[in-house]
């Protein structure tokens, strides 16, 4: 496992950080729950093979993620990793809520301290609210008490909002959505470079655009195949990210053991400055080829859910995008029909717009649902 230096913190952290938002799920007593045995085995395999960074959050998998991570980190595993979790800012209604939420998280994670504590999913508006609640003073105090080592934030908004947040507190780390498709989206390349100029390490989320970059459509695969060195699409995506010296850990939300093992292999081969000029040119071509196909920039984070009308928004977009990416409209129609049959009918949308206020990608969801229906119904 390649290690990377975390900017001004000077610590060494594994290039691969396990994102605990996409653990395998099973049906138990009529409920969807994390397949604990498999999730724990995945996390421990990653740690046994050099991973030293684990990322979770209060809300992942309906709160189950923190619980499962807490269990996985028993038997001496806690001391082997940097544990990161996130304060759900949207649940903070008064200053005292921050401490209450933190205590719940420490309990779930079965630990008395966190290495990285992030204000979750900051945007311009949420940052103003959190400042008013005294979030900066709260984080500083937690550091003084040793309850957290590093004060951080994760982010979904424009570069301008990112810069403002970065400049208004002495942050130890920031976490942004970044991949070769998002160079001009959200914090983007400008944001990564700005954080780097301040010595603030950048942790990457959605490096595969929520998995969308893992399976190349024909026109993209043809470009990869034309390159003399053969690499999988996942390998190209992670290689491109790790080329950036500002990047600390790249989180990957692995969903099975095979992906854990594949990523362990990949992150053993990539480091800052690893991309040659022809490799960079290839990724520029790949980006253009993708851009011609993606219909809606949904990453499947599910922040838009639940929908009061039970529309499965991420699934609808995923079916629509996949149909476009793979030219498989027939399969798209079948998947759509099955989803409607399961009681998640996009036609039920009443355009209340509740979903849009939470979407990190700022997708005009009701409009896009209509377009998806027109293509898939
Ligand atoms: N703070 C925030 O606002 C925020 C938002 C989003 C994510 N995050 C964090 O960042 C982490 C990473 O984001 P992400 O999960 O969206 O990352 P990602 O790497 O873009 O996507 C993860 C998906 O990529 C696919 N994948 C991963 N490794 C693979 C491999 N070796 N081969 C083939 N497919 C592979 C899997 O898709 P399939 O399941 O389809 O196979 C997996 O579910 C999350 O887990 C979470 O911890 C934070």
The last residue of one of the domains, among 233, 259, 291, is 291
Whether the per-residue pLDDT at 172 is higher than 70: the answer is: yes
Q: Specify the pLDDT at position 328.
A: 63
> Is residue 283 domain-shared with residue 325, that is, in the same domain?
no
Task: Say if residue 326's pLDDT is above 60.
Answer: no
**Is residue 263 within 6 Å of ligand 1 at its C-beta?**
yes
Domain count, the chain: 2
**Exposed/middle/buried for residue 215 (C-beta within 10 Å: 0-12, 13-18, 19+):** middle
Q: Is residue 227 part of a domain?
A: yes
Ligand 1 centroid to residue 211 C-alpha, Å: 6
pLDDT at 374 over 80: yes
Q: Do 261 and 354 share a structural domain? A: no
pLDDT of residue 299: 83
Q: Are 174 and 7 in contact (CB under 8 A)?
A: no
Query: Is any atom of ligand 1 closer than 6 Å to the C-beta of 42?
Result: no
Do 206 and 318 belong together in one domain? no
pLDDT at 322 over 90: no
Q: Which residue, by CA, sits nearest to atom 46 of ligand 1?
A: 19
User: Which pTM does this prediction carry?
Assistant: 0.84
Domain boundary among 291, 325, 347: 291
Residue 302 belongs to a domain: no
Question: Which residue's alpha carbon is at the smallest distance from atom 36 of ligand 1?
Answer: 211
* Crossing angle between the packed helical segments 365-376 and 329-341, to the nearest 10 degrees: 110
pLDDT above 60: residue 327? no
Mean pLDDT in residue range 267-274 = 96
CATH number for the domain spanning 213: value is: 3.20.20.100
Q: Are residues 342 and 283 in the same domain?
A: no
User: Do 237 and 283 fall into the same domain?
Assistant: yes
Q: Does residue 135 fall inside a structural domain? A: yes
Do residues 182 and 257 share a domain?
yes
Sequence-ordered list of residues with C-beta below 8 angstroms from that of 338, at least 6 positions apart, any chain: none
- Does 108 share its domain with 195? yes
Query: 297 lies in a domain?
Result: no
Q: Quick one: 58 and 207 in the same domain?
A: yes
For residue 14, pLDDT beyond 60:
yes
**Does any domain span residue 68?**
yes
Token pair for residue 10? 């000077």
206 and 349 together in one domain: no
Q: Choose among 186, 143, 181: nearest CA to 162.
A: 186
Which residues constitute the domain of residue 356? 313-376
Asked whether residue 303 is domain-assigned, the answer is no
Centre of ligand 1 to C-alpha 260, Å, is 11
Q: Summarize pLDDT for 28-62 with one digit per residue, the tens.
A: 988 889 999 999 999 999 999 999 999 999 999 99
Whether 120 lines ligand 1, by a CB cut-off of 6 Å, is yes
Alpha-carbon dihedral of residues 159, 162, 164, 167, nearest 10 degrees? -120
Mean pLDDT of the chain: 95
Same domain membership, residue 326 and residue 180 = no
pLDDT of residue 27 exceeding 80: yes
CB 17 within 8 A of CB 54: yes
Give the per-residue pLDDT at 217: 86
Is the minimum distance from the CB of 322 to ligand 1 under 6 angstroms?
no
Q: How many CB atoms lie within 10 A of CB 251?
A: 22
| Closest residue by CA, ligand 1 atom 3 | 121
Q: What is the pLDDT of residue 293?
A: 83
Residue nearest ligand 1's atom 1 by CA: 154
Query: Could you read off the pLDDT of 291-308 as tens digits, one per residue?
Result: 788 899 898 888 999 999
Residues 147 and 215 placed together within one structural domain of the fold: yes
Q: Is residue 300 part of a domain?
A: no
| Whether 239 and 372 share a structural domain | no
Could you tell me if the CB of 55 is within 6 A of ligand 1?
yes
Is residue 196 within 8 Å of residue 6, measured between CB atoms? no
Distance CA 83, CA 146 (A): 14
94-138 pLDDT, tens digit each: 999 999 999 999 999 999 999 999 999 999 999 999 999 999 999
* Residue 177 counted as domain residue: yes
Cα 99 to the center of its chain, rounded Å: 25
């Amino acid at each position: 496992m390649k290690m990377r230096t975390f900017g001004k913190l000077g610590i060494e952290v594994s290039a691969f950080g396990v994102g605990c938002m996409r653990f395998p799920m099973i049906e138990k007593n009529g409920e969807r729950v994390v397949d604990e045995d498999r999730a724990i085995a995945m996390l421990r395999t990653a740690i046994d093979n050099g991973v030293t960074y684990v990322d979770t959050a209060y809300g992942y998998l309906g709160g189950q993620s923190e619980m499962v991570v807490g269990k996985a980190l028993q038997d001496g595993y806690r001391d082997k990793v940097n544990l990161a979790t996130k304060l759900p800012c949207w649940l903070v209604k008064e200053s005292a809520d921050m401490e209450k939420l933190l205590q719940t998280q420490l309990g779930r994670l079965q630990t008395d301290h966190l290495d990285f504590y992030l204000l979750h999913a900051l945007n311009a508006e949420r940052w103003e609210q959190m400042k008013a609640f005294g979030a900066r003073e709260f984080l500083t105090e937690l550091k003084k008490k040793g309850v957290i080592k590093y004060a951080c934030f994760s982010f979904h908004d424009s570069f301008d909002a990112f810069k403002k947040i970065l400049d208004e507190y002495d942050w130890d780390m920031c976490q942004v959505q970044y991949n070769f498709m998002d160079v001009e989206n959200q914090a983007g390349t400008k944001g990564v470079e700005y954080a780097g100029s301040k010595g603030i390490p950048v942790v990457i989320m959605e490096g595969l655009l929520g998995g969308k970059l893992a399976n190349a459509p024909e026109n993209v695969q043809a470009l990869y195949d034309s390159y003399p060195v053969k690499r999988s699409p996942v390998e190209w995506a992670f290689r491109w990210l790790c080329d950036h010296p500002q990047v600390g850990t790249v989180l990957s939300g692995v969903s099975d053991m095979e992906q854990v093992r594949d990523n362990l292999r990949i992150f053993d081969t990539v480091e800052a400055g690893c991309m040659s000029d022809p490799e960079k040119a290839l990724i520029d071509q790949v980006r253009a080829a993708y851009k011609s196909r993606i219909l809606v920039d949904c990453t499947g984070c599910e922040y838009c859910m639940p929908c009061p009308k039970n529309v499965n928004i991420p699934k609808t977009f995923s079916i629509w995008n996949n149909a476009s990416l793979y030219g498989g409209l027939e399969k798209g129609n079948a998947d759509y029909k099955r989803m409607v049959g399961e009681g998640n009918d996009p036609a039920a949308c009443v355009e209340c717009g509740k979903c849009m206020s939470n979407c990190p990608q700022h997708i005009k969801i009701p409009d896009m649902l209509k377009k998806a229906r027109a293509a898939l119904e």
